[in-house]
Amino acid sequence: MIGRLNHVAIAVPDLAAAAAVYRDTLGAKVSAPQDEPDNGVTVVFVELDNTKIELLHPLGENSPIEGFLKKNASGGIHHVCYEVEDILAARDQLKAKGARVLGDGEPKIGAHKKPVLFLHPKDFSGTLVELEQV
């Protein structure tokens, strides 16, 4: 059902500093910050040959990243994202197997402008999983 790893998302308390580490220290190609008001985040994409790193910073008062950073002040891995060909079919298969889909269970448009769903971390070894339709 799942395809390739699309990205690993890292919540960061200082977006400019985190982007500089990836760009200047590691030599990666780093995008400009992109506000995603519908998702409550500002995102920087770090492009790698085989995947992406998504640096997440809170945007607005209701950001889901704000709570994560309160518990993890220096930041950390927030979620992993896997690609799926058909997000509705993947959702239905997962729900039939007992996995919990977060929110109302309907796909939202993510930072890559594609449909996404999040799966409960307790069902996946403590890891928040995002599925993105390709």
Can you identify the CATH homologous superfamily of domain 5-133? 2,3-Dihydroxybiphenyl 1,2-Dioxygenase, domain 1 (3.10.180.10)
Per-residue pLDDT, 97: 97
pTM of the complete model beyond 0.75: yes
Mean pLDDT for the stretch of residues 19-47: 96
What is the chain's Cα-based Rg? Answer: 15
Per-residue pLDDT, 62: 85
The 10s digit of each residue's pLDDT in 64-100 is 899 999 999 999 999 999 999 999 999 999 999 999 9
Cβ neighbours around 7 below 10 Å, total: 21
The 10s digit of each residue's pLDDT in 90-132 is 999 999 999 999 999 999 999 889 999 999 999 999 999 999 9
Q: Dihedral of CA 108/128/4/50: which sign?
A: positive
Residue carrying the six token digits 């239905």: 92
Active-site annotation, residues: 130
**Where residue 60 falls among pLDDT bands split at 50, 70, 90?**
confident
What are 48's two structure tokens?
Answer: 């790698």
